[in-house]
């Protein structure tokens, strides 16, 4: 069995042999996973098409969603189109507070701001190397949800789901977004702190 320092040298050689974009993805992916608490990794790496997390306040749910999204948009999609991930909170200001600003802070901390473009008015983060993007939304009512009907996504994320109207969640998952996820083997992530109505 190779000694730890030998393994690290071999890993560095393997990384250097990759094309520049692949090496960058591997490096950033490792940094993103390294920024997670071990308990968050199960949620971050879950490959299921339907993922839920009922986790107490401060348990790192939104951080896990953020890392899941960034890991998807930095990869070139096998079908040639850029990855598309959407994040929805109960309102646009909540989406900004819970995830948009913290996402920029994470990328700045990792030294990756130059590889991403931030459209503040649209609350859309685009990876410059792949064109993949992370869109932030407020799902205040059914009309807002309807705007996303028929858009193929690699992932659609619902945050603080216990605070949503259950009928709106059902409409979003089963009518507006869910039917087009299959085209990209997409996933729905529903996370939140458990509320008094467990539906």
Checking if the pLDDT of 78 tops 80, the result is no
Tens digits of residue pLDDT in 165-183: 888 888 888 888 888 888 8
Contact 77, 154 (CB under 8 A): yes
Q: What is the pLDDT of residue 199?
A: 66
Contact 189, 68 (CB under 8 A): yes
* Closest of 58, 21, 24 to residue 39, by C-alpha: 58
Tens digits of residue pLDDT in 119-156: 999 999 999 999 999 999 988 767 777 777 778 899 99
> Is this structure's pTM higher than 0.75?
yes
Checking if the pLDDT of 106 tops 90, the result is yes
Reported as a pLDDT band with limits 50, 70 and 90, residue 99 is very high
Checking if the pLDDT of 103 tops 70, the result is yes
Checking if the pLDDT of 49 tops 90, the result is yes
Q: What is the pLDDT of residue 5?
A: 61
Q: What is the mean pLDDT of residues 93-102?
A: 95
Of 124 and 58, the one with more pLDDT: 124
Contact 171, 35 (CB under 8 A): no
Q: CA–CA separation, 168 vs 181, rounded Å?
A: 18
Q: What is the pLDDT of residue 169?
A: 86
Mean pLDDT of the chain: 87
DSSP structure string for the chain? ---HHHHHHHHHHHHHHS-HHHHHHHHHHHHHHHTS-HHHHHHHH---SEEEEE--TTSSHHHHHHHHHHHHHTSPPTTSSPPEEEEEESSHHHHIIIIIHHHHHHHHHTT-GGGEEEETTTTEEEETTT--EEEEEE--SHHHHHTTTT---SEEEE-SGGGS-HHHHHHIIIIIIHHHHGGGT-EEEEEE---SS--
Q: CA–CA separation, 175 vs 85, rounded Å?
A: 18
């Amino acid at each position: 069995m190779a000694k730890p320092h030998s393994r690290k040298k071999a890993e560095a050689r393997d990384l250097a042999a990759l094309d520049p974009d692949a090496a960058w993805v591997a490096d950033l992916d490792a940094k993103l996973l390294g920024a997670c608490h071990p308990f968050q990794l199960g949620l971050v790496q879950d490959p299921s098409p339907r993922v839920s997390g009922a986790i107490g306040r401060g348990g790192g749910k939104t951080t896990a969603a953020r890392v899941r999204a960034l890991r998807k948009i930095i990869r070139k999609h096998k079908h040639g189109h850029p990855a598309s991930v959407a994040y929805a909170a109960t309102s646009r200001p909540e989406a900004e507070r819970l995830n948009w600003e913290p996402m920029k802070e994470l990328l700045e901390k990792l030294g990756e701001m130059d590889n991403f473009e931030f459209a503040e008015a649209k609350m859309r983060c685009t990876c410059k190397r792949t064109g993949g993007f992370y869109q932030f939304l407020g799902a205040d009512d059914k009309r807002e949800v309807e705007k996303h009907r028929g858009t193929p996504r690699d992932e659609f994320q619902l945050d603080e789901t216990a605070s949503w109207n259950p009928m709106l969640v059902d409409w979003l998952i089963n009518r507006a977004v869910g039917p087009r996820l299959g085209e990209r083997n997409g996933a729905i992530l529903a996370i939140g702190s458990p509320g008094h109505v467990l539906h």
